[in-house]
Amino acid sequence: MTVVTALIIFVVGSIVGFFVNHFLSSSNQEQRKLAEQVNKSEAALAQYKLDVSDHLASSAKLLEQMNSTCQTAMKQMEESTQLLQKATTTDVEGMPFFSQETQQQLAQTAGLRHPKRSSKNVESATEAPLDYSGQASGLFIDEKQRVSGAE
């Protein structure tokens, strides 16, 4: 009987052990899967942080370049303003719009295009122009006209 009891205890123990192992191993598998997901998420977060820091560093460089360009443009604007103020304080009427050479060329071309006209006696226009007929055509009279070729 002791052998039978030992066999029964062994069978019951192995069945209980099988179920306990099955439940514990499935929870272990879930924990492993969750640990892998956590590791992947942490790696993705670390990569994202690196990408963001790279982006911010490049943005900072671009802003520095933009700032230096703006500073250069401001200096040029100040210099231009000062030059314009100096130019306006001097005699503006003494400064021609075109250079002397350009003015000479303009005078020459104007002389070639528009030669001086001699003053002719202007006849008074008392006669009708040649394209007008001296007689009325009758187009606007409300009469029936004969059509040529129709009988």
Contacts of 128 (CB under 8 A, 6+ apart): 134
Mean of pLDDT values over 33-47: 95
pLDDT 10s digits, 107-145: 888 777 665 665 555 555 566 666 666 677 666 776 665
Q: How far apart are CA 41 and CA 51, in angstroms?
A: 15
Give me the residue spans of the domains in the chain: 2-89
